[in-house]
Amino acid sequence: MNNFVYDIPVKVYFGENQLCHLGEELKKYGSRVLLTYGGGSIKKIGLYDKVINELNSSGLEVFELSGIEPNPRIDSVRKGAQMCKEHNIDVLLAVGGGSTIDATKFMAAGACVDHDPWDFLSEKWSPIEKALPIVSILTLSATGSEMDCGGVISNPETKDKIGRLAPPMLPKVSFLDPTLTYSVNAYQTACGAADMISHILEVYFNMEQDLYMLDCFMEGMLKTIIKYTPVAIQDPENYEARANLMWTSSWAINGFINGGKRLAWSCHPMEHELSAIYDITHGLGLAILTPRWLEYCLDETTVSKYVQFATNVFGVEASLPPMEIAREGIRRLSEFLFDTIGLQRTFTEVGIKEEDFPVMARKACGNGTLKGFKHLNQQDIEAIFRMCL
Amino acid sequence: MNNFVYDIPVKVYFGENQLCHLGEELKKYGSRVLLTYGGGSIKKIGLYDKVINELNSSGLEVFELSGIEPNPRIDSVRKGAQMCKEHNIDVLLAVGGGSTIDATKFMAAGACVDHDPWDFLSEKWSPIEKALPIVSILTLSATGSEMDCGGVISNPETKDKIGRLAPPMLPKVSFLDPTLTYSVNAYQTACGAADMISHILEVYFNMEQDLYMLDCFMEGMLKTIIKYTPVAIQDPENYEARANLMWTSSWAINGFINGGKRLAWSCHPMEHELSAIYDITHGLGLAILTPRWLEYCLDETTVSKYVQFATNVFGVEASLPPMEIAREGIRRLSEFLFDTIGLQRTFTEVGIKEEDFPVMARKACGNGTLKGFKHLNQQDIEAIFRMCL
């Protein structure tokens, strides 16, 4: 068991009608706010007006940057960093899902340096030592960006999609109001669930000695997602379902579950190569990949972890032979993703072509080995991709 | 489901040999340190020397207050607050279990006011608006004081034992090294486990609509305690067992599991009256009380929560009639506390006398009603006490 440091000082206002605290929280950091959001869904649900009212009545000066893309692009980040510098922004307010919050994090960091923000993500890997303070209002339960210090940015010119963690980018405060996710449609709700499941499984499937209490918590979060995603799809305004999914999205990736594990994720790096080329929804790519990755990594040395997963999460009968239990666990997960919550099952269905496998696989493993639950080279990754056809 | 604010900015260094970070963390707050500890067990295990070396090599000026009692007394708090004022202390370093950390919290608050620190706890209930910064090094997994903002102080003159929460008393940094609990004996290990179990059950047994994911986490922590306490008792230097118990002690009471529940604890207020008079170990008092309290509160309106507990924590067969499942859950809990980890079973065994029941019961309910899972008046509490004979 390895040592670790736990340090997640994000303050969260959870529940309805908590925006009355927005002004007081922002004013701790200054008076000039850059409000960032995506394609305008926050206007449709009336959130934009509420936010602007709160900001105005608190006497804050507001600048706006809208149009942040799903799979957010480096050009948006550049624009935001530039605005922060031009307008002497004190604090950034991201209103949206993971894409908006991710992009805002790199704007906040970009505002503190003279170089191009892409240098944070390119081979230069410039240090992220400072960032302007960030506050978020979450509208989609999925990426957990509201409570972690990471983000993923796409660069269409280079066909790269790269993620990075840096403590200065941790939001100071996040507002989690489950009612703001009532308008999230069935497909996006399902994709969010697949993203959360993947965040948990990337940590859970690991043969390192770790803290059992955290495994229990991960199993609890998986059961929560399995219980409530179908409810939220059937009954989009079910507060209990939306609240459980929302709080789970934050805890699936804020770092608590890592304990002292040396982590190396597998499905996320593979998926980033898919969505870098095809711009498909991140959660959908993960849903297609995850059960195949699990199947590929199953052998006598790893089976015990699958048995724990299958029995504790899906209640698979513990008296069966271990390999049978393991396969039943994968089958139940596939059934959940592709039947219960209705996500597409194959690359073929979403238009991902075999001709792109070699280049995507090579990039996913950085032309070497993708270290993870099982280390994967280009051939391994291509084999997993073929299982997804 | 109620709204809540999540805000737990304690930084935790978890694992062995992390004390190399002690100096750098303390120096963030100044150079004059008040080191507080209890009866000297930290000298026996060599921790005192390590701490002093770290403090000296970091160039910190150290003042010491030792002799903090189990069930820490207001006189120690007064002494510590006075020392902080006399020596212009910048930061307090508590080294020990919950008693030392609790007392240190009130010293840190007392240092910032002119009045007697007992006024924080007496009927005056003076506000706690400030406290000097606190760093802790934990040596006992039990109270969770290392990651919460509360403490309990005894006043032998008034025979009071009173707890209070106040955000300024939250430790800035806590060091959790499982090896520092290797020397904790079987009895204290068992009492610590009973304390943690009670912290969880005081929150878990509640009929309010809440977050299912948190119920799963509570069940996971209970299973962790049940799995590892006997291991730690049998094999005191088992790192995995000590580590799981240590991290569970923090999360059982740091506030995360509360979600939006309106909480009102039952066993803790009852137990405080026992240990105010008899000075018995807090966890032992809780162990004796908890199963009886559960038995007393079981009826048709509450049985569903017991069923959840019995099936999810102890794996009781779900097809039995609910009342039977509930009683089996209580029986299994008793078996764990009194047989598996060997705690004493009755008030009679620990010398608590029936003649004191009326006064203890009256104080526990504040001469009115003890609001909790079931509201209890003096007669109810006396009845529960009699079940403990």
The residue extents of the domains of chain A are 11-180, 185-387
CA-nearest residue to A225 within chain B is B213
Confirm or reject contact between A224 and chain B (CB < 8 A): yes
Angle (nearest 5°) at CA A245 between A244 and A251: 90
Q: Which residue has the tokens 């670790």?
A: A4
CA distance A334 to A288: 9
What are φ and ψ of residue A186, in 5° steps? -60, -40
CA distance B34 to A270: 52
Nearest Cα of chain B lies from the Cα of A124 at a distance, in angstroms, of 30
Give chain B positions within 8 Å (CB) of A16: 3
Sign of CA dihedral A185, A265, A332, A209: negative
Structure tokens given for B371: 């609001």
Nearest Cα of chain B lies from the Cα of A15 at a distance, in angstroms, of 5
- Mutate one of B6, B224, B248, B313 to test the A interface: name it (highest A CB count within 10 A): B6
Nearest Cα of chain A lies from the Cα of B71 at a distance, in angstroms, of 29
Confirm or reject contact between B20 and chain A (CB < 8 A): no
User: For residues B217, B213, A97 and A121, what is the CA-based torsion angle, rounded to 10 degrees?
Assistant: 20
CB B29 within 8 A of CB B89: no
- Mutate one of A20, A204, A213 to test the B interface: name it (highest B CB count within 10 A): A213
Q: Mark yes or no for CB contact B239/A1 under 8 Å.
A: yes
Sign of CA dihedral A243, A248, A253, A254: positive
Q: DSSP string covering B4-52, please? A: EEE----EEEESTT-GGGHHHHHHTT-SEEEEE-SSSHHHHTTHHHHHH
CA distance B191 to B70: 13
Structure tokens given for A256: 């608590």
CA distance B307 to B318: 8
Residue A24 CB neighbours (<10 A):
11
Report chain B's C-alpha Rg in angstroms: 21
Residue A382 amino acid letter:
E
Q: Mark yes or no for CB contact A247/B1 under 8 Å.
A: no
CA distance A103 to A75: 10
Q: What is the pLDDT of residues A89-133, one digit of tens each?
A: 999 999 999 999 999 999 999 999 999 999 999 999 999 999 999
Angle (nearest 5°) at CA A246 between A243 and A248: 105
Between A9, A212, A251, which is nearest B224 by CB? A212
Strand B91-96 relative to strand B32-36, pairing: parallel
Helix, strand, or coil here: A165? Answer: strand
A to B CB pairs, distance under 8 Å:
112
Q: What is the pTM of this model?
A: 0.96
CA distance B215 to B308: 9
Q: Which residue has the tokens 């009194």?
A: B338
Give chain B positions within 8 Å (CB) of A228: 212
Is CATH 1.20.1530.20 correct for B11-180?
no
Q: Bridge-partner residues for A61, per DSSP?
A: A32
Confirm or reject contact between A175 and chain B (CB < 8 A): no
Nearest to A294 by CA among A253, A328, A320, A338: A328
Confirm or reject contact between A52 and chain B (CB < 8 A): no
Confirm or reject contact between A239 and chain B (CB < 8 A): yes
- Ramachandran assignment for A209, one of left (phi > 0), alpha (psi -120 to 50 degrees), beta (any other): beta
| Whole-number Cα distances in Å, A119 to A84, A122, B88, B256 | 18, 5, 47, 37
CA-nearest residue to B211 within chain A is A244
CA distance A229 to A213: 24
Per-block average pLDDT, block size 10, for chain B (389 residues)?
A: 96 97 98 95 95 97 96 96 98 97 98 98 97 98 96 92 95 98 97 97 91 97 98 98 98 95 90 87 95 98 97 96 98 98 97 95 92 94 97
Confirm or reject contact between B338 and chain A (CB < 8 A): no
CA distance B128 to B167: 8
In chain B, which ranges are continuous DSSP H helix? 22-27, 41-44, 47-57, 74-86, 98-110, 186-204, 212-234, 239-251, 267-278, 282-297, 303-314, 322-334, 347-350, 357-364, 378-387
Structure tokens given for A77: 């980040």
Residues A233-252: b if buried by 16+ CB within 10 A, e if exposed: beebebebbbbbbbbbbbbb
Eight-class DSSP state of A133: -
Nearest Cα of chain A lies from the Cα of B1 at a distance, in angstroms, of 8
CB B146 within 8 A of CB B103: no
CA distance A28 to A93: 13
Nearest Cα of chain B lies from the Cα of A252 at a distance, in angstroms, of 11
Nearest to B116 by CA among B66, B61, B155, B63: B155
Residue A300 CB neighbours (<10 A):
8
Reduce the secondary structure of B142-184 to three states and give it as a string: CCCHHHCCEEEEEECCCCEEEEEECHHHCCCEEEECHHHHCCC
Residue B56 CB neighbours (<10 A):
12
Residue A209 CB neighbours (<10 A):
14
Structure tokens given for B162: 């009173």
Q: What is the pLDDT of residues A214-268, one digit of tens each?
A: 999 999 999 999 999 999 999 999 999 999 999 999 999 999 999 998 888 999 9
Angle (nearest 5°) at CA B51 between B93 and B241: 90
Listed as ranges, residues in chain A with pLDDT below 70 are none
- For the structural domain made of B193-387, what CATH number should be given? 1.20.1090.10
Give chain A positions within 8 Å (CB) of B213: 220-221, 224, 244, 247-248, 251
Q: Mark yes or no for CB contact A219/B217 under 8 Å.
A: no
Confirm or reject contact between A216 and chain B (CB < 8 A): yes
Instruction: Specify the fold of A185-387.
Output: Dehydroquinate synthase-like, alpha domain (1.20.1090)
Confirm or reject contact between A244 and chain B (CB < 8 A): yes
- Ramachandran assignment for A86, one of left (phi > 0), alpha (psi -120 to 50 degrees), beta (any other): alpha
